Amino acid sequence: MTVKTRYFVIVSLLVLVVGLGTGLVAYYVGFPATAFFSGNAPDELRYMPSTASVVGYVEVREIMASDLRQRLHKGIASQAQDDGKRELQELTGINYETDIERIVACFDSAQSADNSGLILAKGLFDTVKIEALMREHGAQVQDYKGKRLIVADHFGRNNFSNFDRAGRPAEDASFALTFMEPGLVGFGSTALVRQAIDLHASGGSSAATNDDLVAHMRGLEGGNAWVVGRMDVLRERAKLPEIVANQIPPITWFSVRGQVDGGFQARLTAEGRDEESANMLRDVVRGFLALAKLQTSSKPEFQRFVQSLQLGGTGKTVSLSLDVPAQVFEALGALMPKQPGEQKPQ
Amino acid sequence: MLWSRRSVFLGLLVGAPMVMAFAIRMVAVTRGLPVINGAGLSGPTLFGILIWLLFVRFIVPVLGVFYGTSLIADEVDDKTITYLFTRPVPRSAVLLGKYLSYLACVVLLVLPSVVVVYFLVVPIGGHIGESFPSLVEDLGMIFVGLASYGAVFAFVGARLKRPLIVGLVFAFGWESTVLLIPGYLKRLSVAYYLQALVPHVMPQDSSISLLLQVFQELPSVWVSLLSLTGITVLGLWLAGRTVEKREYVLEQ
């Protein structure tokens, strides 16, 4: 055996042994995919609890700049939209059209109903102004592990009130805001914001280490807004009457991926518990599609939308793709009652 | 065998999937994998496509053809076969030894390439641990394929004067054609039994492949394994018998 051949054999065997060894360890220990690939999952997941059952993501700046949004803003209830934007800006100092780059939100079913939401927004924020405005409206500043936590007991329409309308203990419904790092603000239930600060300070088990969740997010790449979540957990949480719960096909995971540009394209995916439940769900959707086609046969403005609905998926997965052109939104806008002084859309 | 000009070409051939996998990984990291019909392509699916289209349907037959046919034909062309046949060992033992060295070379060439492709592609939206059993199945299937193709083409190389052309026609003409023809003709191919070993590697995402699966008749894993073992043994026996009986006339 020549020296070259010896090296070839050694290198080949080394690659094989190391590869198979790593694979074997991963097989038995459960090597997370995230160890090798971070993919396009947002960094904000590191601050969200691993028990998050729903995670949503919105590229706010991209959507605000989209052609569809511009047309909708001009066409539908522009006055109401402007009022809402001004109110939020007066209350928090945040202009969602220009200040926020993207939002990642989660719903944690392990928390109580009033403490289950957390929103992380990335963008350009005037921290001093936001804090001053919130304090002005009744919020209090606390220190938690070196972070300034701006806590309000109740998020009212025009101010942060110290009273809970339902008469519950204020702690359960309290709302907090903190600046996790420059350009990243976290707000939501005080418990989850504190947990996010804990995760930021010391790391640990977070949504980013929830392999199932991250794996489902990977299928959503390419959209500027998406939601992924566990339907079975939500259903348990909702405590539906048995008669209603029995009518819902047993879905484990669901996801919605949307792309807003000149129109709106989306793909809704549901993962059934088994193939039988997926087939059941497929039949239900097929029935609804047939009904929608029947209902819109005399309405040409909605026909393109209905025709774009495509049922797909194999095995346990059921998917529904749709493409809503801007004209459909405009047609819907035209059907909405007009506010005094608002012009009819062009 | 290992350091011939042919091997350099075949080394590049085996290296191409690794380069391709690296490029896919880079694209996935920077821009994400393409979305087809609204469905994001995942690493394990892509790995299955690469294994099926590149390795099983191309690299394994090519290595079998080039190395298998050259086991005896190269010795004849180089006029060195006389030195081997004058040794006090049966001629078939010489062929068997050359076949085993072929198997060692191609296994050490192809399997590491598959492992590298696996670690580059599967983590894109997949789990290394979850997909590991399929990697082992793929490696086993490729080993059996290399052994079967090598035995068949060893016989072709021992029997025919221009074995390379016949080998290429068999691998890329006959095998591709009979797999598409309904009936029993496909049973006279290696690929028919090989594809039944690991059906998951076939791309299953399109409606065409779904239709193909419905109408496709695949033998069971045990029938495939027995058939491929039979093909290997028969190929080697025929090759050994040919080498024992045939008089090789060296051109002056």
Least confident segment among A233-237, B104-108, B113-117 = A233-237
B47-97: pLDDT as tens digits: 888 888 888 888 999 988 888 888 888 888 788 888 888 888 888 898 899
Domain assignment of residue A26, yes or no: no
Domain assignment of residue A45, yes or no: yes
Please indicate whether, in this complex, the C-beta atoms of A23 and B118 are within 8 angstroms of each other. yes
**Prediction pTM value:** 0.52
**In terms of domains, do A183 and A44 share one?**
yes
Is the predicted pLDDT of residue A341 greater than 70, yes or no? Answer: no
**In terms of domains, do A159 and A261 share one?**
no
The whole-number pLDDT of residue B148 equals 93
* Greater pLDDT, A68 or A169: A68
Is the predicted pLDDT of residue A157 greater than 70, yes or no? Answer: no
**In terms of domains, do A318 and A297 share one?**
yes
- Radius of gyration of the CA atoms of chain A, in A: 24
A122-151: pLDDT as tens digits: 888 878 888 887 788 778 888 888 888 888
**In terms of domains, do A254 and A119 share one?**
no
Query: Which residues in A have their CB inside 8 Å of a CB on B?
Result: 2, 4-5, 8-9, 11-13, 15-16, 19-20, 22-24, 26-33, 36-37, 39-40, 211, 215, 218-222, 257, 267, 310, 312, 314, 319, 321
**In terms of domains, do A95 and A154 share one?**
yes
Produce one character per residue of B29-47: b if its CB has 16 or more CB atoms within 10 Å, e if not: eeebbebeebbbbbbbbbb
Please indicate whether, in this complex, the C-beta atoms of B132 and A321 are within 8 angstroms of each other. no
Domains contained in chain A, number? 2
B35-46: pLDDT as tens digits: 555 455 677 778
The answer to whether the CB of B190 falls within 8 A of the CB of B152 is yes
State the average pLDDT for chain A: 76
**In terms of domains, do A185 and A248 share one?**
no
Is the predicted pLDDT of residue B208 greater than 70, yes or no? Answer: no
**In terms of domains, do A280 and A324 share one?**
yes
Q: How far apart are CA A70 and CA A262, in angstroms?
A: 10
Distance from CA of B199 to the nearest CA of A (A): 16
**In terms of domains, do A100 and A119 share one?**
yes
Domain assignment of residue A18, yes or no: no
Q: What is the mean pLDDT of residues A35-39?
A: 44
The whole-number pLDDT of residue B40 equals 54
Number of residues written out for chain B: 252
Helix (H) or strand (E) holding A187: strand A184-189
Domain assignment of residue A267, yes or no: yes
Instruction: Name the phi and psi angles at A269, rounded to 5.
Output: -125, 140
Distance from CA of B247 to the nearest CA of A (A): 31
State the average pLDDT for chain B: 81
Domain assignment of residue A191, yes or no: yes
B86-109: pLDDT as tens digits: 888 888 898 899 999 989 988 998
Is the predicted pLDDT of residue B11 greater than 70, yes or no? Answer: yes
Give SS3 for B47: helix
- Out of B29, B42, B129, whose CB is closest to A218? B42
**In terms of domains, do A193 and A233 share one?**
no
The whole-number pLDDT of residue B122 equals 85
Instruction: Work out the end-to-end distance of chain B between its first and last CA atoms, rounded to an integer number of angstroms.
Output: 24
- Residue A333 sits in which domain range? 219-346
Chain B interface disruption, residue of A7, A10, A27, A228, most B CBs within 10 A: A27
Instruction: Provide ipTM, 2 decimals.
Output: 0.80
The answer to whether the CB of A101 falls within 8 A of the CB of A60 is yes
Judging contacts by C-beta atoms under 8 Å, the chain A residues touching residue B111 are 12, 16
**In terms of domains, do A41 and A164 share one?**
yes
- Out of B2, B109, B129, whose CB is closest to A31? B129
**In terms of domains, do A248 and A313 share one?**
yes
Q: What is the mean pLDDT of residues A97-124?
A: 82
**In terms of domains, do A230 and A297 share one?**
yes
The whole-number pLDDT of residue B217 equals 66
Domain assignment of residue A104, yes or no: yes
